[in-house]
Structure 1
Amino acid sequence: MSEYKYDEESVKTLIVWAKSTSFPQQVKLSEAEDIYDVERYVQANLSDIDAHYPDAFYNPAITRLYRLKECIEGNER
């Protein structure tokens, strides 16, 4: 797991990625995390970020998108 960045520029870049990427219907992030509706998962996290950034309490929404990005890009290689 890499260190995630929560500065404004990094978060904006992550949001652009999330809005411009085509997602599969389902993703398995870990042994305990199965996402059955990836589009809804992404939209929910984007909504939290949009409503609450830069409140650090909502950094887990950013972390979830980073983890999804790692999973998606790792599967493409």
Structure 2
Amino acid sequence: MEYKYDEESVNALMKWAENAQLPKELQLSEAEKILDVKQYALANLSDIRAHYPDEFYNPAIQRLYRLKDKLEGERM
């Protein structure tokens, strides 16, 4: 999946993460189980706020996109 890293898209993603109803735990993939989803989101938001637009921190943005995709996919 192609993710967008422009300021508008990242701000929308951050707003989603701040306001989303997050489960306590989540199996993100076969190899990734998140035990505290809220803390996971907050840690990635912190990295983005501190370092955006430094591309080195794009994985924090990708992690939030993957979380959003997983949660919205489960709701469908």
TM-score grouping bracket, smaller chain normalisation: over 0.9
Aligned length: 76
1:61 paired with 2:44, answer no
Q: When the two structures are superposed, what TM-score results if normalisation uses the length of structure 2?
A: 0.98
Gaps of 5+ in 1: none
- Residue 70 of structure 1 deviates from its aligned partner by 0.3
Q: When the two structures are superposed, what TM-score results if normalisation uses the length of structure 1?
A: 0.97
Kindly report the root-mean-square deviation, in angstroms, between the aligned alpha carbons of the 2 structures: 0.4
Deviation track 1:14-61 (CA, whole Å, cap 9, x = no partner) reads 001001101000111111000000000000000000000000000000
Structure 1 stretches of 4+ with a deviation exceeding 4 A read none
**Percent identity over the alignment?**
62
